[in-house]
Structure 1
């Protein structure tokens, strides 16, 4: 049985860019992301991830 992890970065070179993007979005939303995020609620983390996806989709749609 193979392990398929959905949270792996498909393009390893993009990892730093995604991390920076996550930090920027979290900062704009007032979510205190740092090295350890275990004190954040699932709602806070999910809202940052959702906003990231929303912005990526919008950027893609603007480019087509």
Structure 2
């Protein structure tokens, strides 16, 4: 496994479960068949990349909509 994935940290407590749910929701919207076990290692990287790419698009769109509405979500403080 790539070491970069082990260094990623979710900055907001409790967001890991929400991000996991968001991933499955995005996969369903794309029509990607989700295995019952939850293991997605058998899926081609193109499909996994499509899920991640669409997640980013949706997050950017949500942020842009909040800016247009005049409400900006709080930026988490990074502690090192």
Query: TM-score w.r.t. structure 1 length?
Result: 0.82
**1:63 matched to which residue of 2?**
66
What runs of 5+ residues in structure 1 fail to find an aligned partner? none
Aligned residues: 61
The structure number with the bigger radius of gyration is 2
Query: TM-score w.r.t. structure 2 length?
Result: 0.67
**1:36 matched to which residue of 2?**
39
Pick the structure with more helix per residue: 1
What runs of 5+ residues in structure 2 fail to find an aligned partner? 68-80
| RMSD value, Cα | 1.8
1:54 aligns with 2:46: no
